[in-house]
Amino acid sequence: MEQIADPVSEQVREVVRAVMEILRTPKADDVPASVAANSFEAEALRAEIIRVGRKLWERGYVDGNGGNISARMCSKYVLCTPTMMSKRDMQPADICLSDLEGNILAGDRLRTSELLLHLEIYRVNPRARAVVHCHPPYATAFSLTGTAPPVGLISEYEIFVGPTAVAEYQTTGTRAFAESVLPFVHDHNTILLANHGVVCWSDSVTHAEWLMEILETYCKTYLISQQIGKPLNYIPQEKIQEILALKKRMGLPDARMGALHEPDDSGASINPDLEQIVRQVVARLEERGRS
Ligand SMILES: [Zn+2]
């Protein structure tokens, strides 16, 4: 097997990755909703949601009042887009603050009924810090056939997205709709919703929107390639293995990760020594933050 990196640098990378995970994990906090709604963090997230909403509209991924965006805040709140509003026209006051049960705590408007879908993703996958749902035409066309686009054709797509799943059709806004993605949210950051659209999760709203762009461009390019009338050349399997190793180092999910031929392909936990180092590094960082 090809040696990817020397053991020490690989361990350092693992420590850094673990520290980032811990720092990203929301602390148990007791911030009142009114304080959370008026915080600098909420202000920055609202601005990001509005910017990404415009981007989705400009790219033609949201039609009418379609699509919705959310971001987690602290350990118990979510900021989300309102219902019945074009993603082109949102203002900061339109963005709702919700708890993890979907109760609105701040904001001038009613939340989107599809927030339940976002909340289910946050509930089962703590790595999801932002969710974007919309109806980009080429990817949505695949959802009408109940099939995911083929993989192994474009490296950018393989790295950031990879195999997508198709969640079964359910009536929008219902609990069954929200739960339809649950079998897929750990191994896929991008899921097609049958006869509906697409949902992506990531560590930020901006990154979740990137996944949407990468998927939509991929679907479009694939469909154009079908018009050329020549057989497609697929990326060789050994190169796909290199991409999977890269994804593992980047902390990106991929349903093929189990097939990665590395000595430790579980990706489940770090060894006890490293865990101890991580604890010390985090304690030091927290101390520095307090002083
Ligand atoms: Zn929708």
Q: Which of 219, 201, 194 is nearest to 136 (CA)?
A: 219
The list of the chain residues with pLDDT below 50 reads: 1-3, 261-270
- Report the alpha-carbon angle 127-45-103, nearest 5: 75
Of the residues 21, 48, 114, 156, only one is catalytic, namely: 114
Give the count of beta carbons closer than 10 Å to the beta carbon of residue 146. Answer: 12
> What class is the 33-225 domain?
alpha beta
State the distance from the centre of ligand 1 to the C-alpha of 30, rounded, in angstroms.
33
Predicted confidence at residue 1, as pLDDT, reads 42
State the distance from the centre of ligand 1 to the C-alpha of 18, rounded, in angstroms.
34
Q: Are 46 and 107 in contact (CB under 8 A)?
A: no
DSSP 64: T
Reading phi first (left if > 0) and then psi (alpha if -120 to 50, else beta), residue 194 is in: beta
Predicted confidence at residue 279, as pLDDT, reads 62
Predicted confidence at residue 263, as pLDDT, reads 41
Predicted confidence at residue 266, as pLDDT, reads 39
Which residues on adjacent β-strands are paired with residue 185?
A: none
Q: Are 142 and 149 in contact (CB under 8 A)?
A: yes
The rounded Cα 111 to chain-centroid distance in angstroms is 20
Predicted confidence at residue 67, as pLDDT, reads 96
Predicted confidence at residue 74, as pLDDT, reads 83
Q: Which of 114, 131, 137 is nearest to 63 (CA)?
A: 137
Rounded CA separation 194/145 (Å) = 8
The beta strand positions in the chain, using DSSP E, are: 68-73, 77-80, 96-99, 104-106, 130-134, 165-167, 190-193, 197-202
Mark whether 101 is an active-site residue.
no
State the distance from the centre of ligand 1 to the C-alpha of 261, rounded, in angstroms.
38
Predicted confidence at residue 113, as pLDDT, reads 83
Q: Which of 177, 149, 174, 175 is nearest to 163 (CA)?
A: 149
What is the end-to-end Cα distance of the chain in Å, rounded? 47
Answer positive or negative: Cα dihedral of 133, 57, 217, 128: negative
